Amino acid sequence: MQQIKVYNLRGVDELVFFDISASKQGRGPNFELIDNLADECFMPMTVGGGVTTIGQARQMLQVGADKVSINTGALHQPRLITEIADKFGTQCVVVSIDYRCHANGELEVFTHAATRPTGIHPVEFAVKAAEYGAGEILLTSIDRDGTFEGYDISTLLSVSNSISIPVIASGGAGSYENMLDAIRNGKASAIAAASIFHYTELTPREAKRYLYANGIPTRK
């Protein structure tokens, strides 16, 4: 809760909250927690974790989420993407894609909190998600998450070039320059970051100022 209050003051455009253990533990969303978070959050909030039915998506929106993110559910039940989009609008459906790069260079999507391999390439999954009605793709490099080494620009570019919906870059931000790189060279429509703001002195507001100074439109 305290971190949300900090983000309210620091110019964050949107908050992304994932219950990463929900699918792994085979349970649904924690609606009470989402409701409590929404009470403190004064910015749009995307929430994910354990969504497998249209009813759960509806309840998530009712308790305060602005967008619903699905990951495991989107892969195993792609029609769920369409159901949510048809009922509540494509703008509130975010498909989250977590992937790894193997030693041989092959990319593979993982589900259940990045523990289960799927045999599916992230570009293939992104194209399928877009066809089923996703409004956005949140693309996360598991290998780079929390490393501060920068985003996976080549995969980001491949996914961005394959679909017409916005792609949000996630995993690896270590500097404002990394963010600019993801937008300019990876064609990301937006940037997600966490560790850089938790463990360094860099701030969301200064990130936006840096991007704006380099020709990237940002909200003031």
Q: Where are the domains of the chain?
A: 2-213
Question: What SS3 class is residue 100?
Answer: strand
5-9, 46-50, 127-131, 164-168: the lowest-pLDDT one: 5-9
**What is the model's pLDDT at position 10?**
75
User: Pick from 84, 151, 148, 146: which is nearest to 114 by CA?
Assistant: 146
For tokens 């620091």, the residue is 10
Q: Are 123 and 159 in contact (CB under 8 A)?
A: yes
C-alpha distance from residue 86 to each of 53, 91, 92, 130 (Å): 14, 10, 10, 13
In this structure, which topology does domain 2-213 adopt according to CATH? TIM Barrel (3.20.20)
Cβ-count burial 96-118 (b if 16+ within 10 Å, e if not) = bbbbbbeeeeebbbbbbbbeeeb
- Per-residue pLDDT tens for 89-141? 999 999 999 999 999 999 999 998 888 999 999 999 999 999 999 999 999 99
Task: Name 6's Cβ contacts closer than 8 Å, sequence gap at least 6.
Answer: none
1 pLDDT higher than 70: no
Give CA torsion, residues 190, 123, 141, 82, to 10 deg: 60
156 pLDDT higher than 70: yes
Q: How far apart are CA 136 and CA 142, in angstroms?
A: 19
200 pLDDT higher than 90: yes
1-5, 139-143, 165-169, 194-198: the lowest-pLDDT one: 1-5
| Residue 217's pLDDT band (cuts 50, 70, 90) | very high
Question: What SS3 class is residue 51?
Answer: coil
Q: How far apart are CA 71 and CA 59, in angstroms?
A: 18
Its pTM stands at 0.95
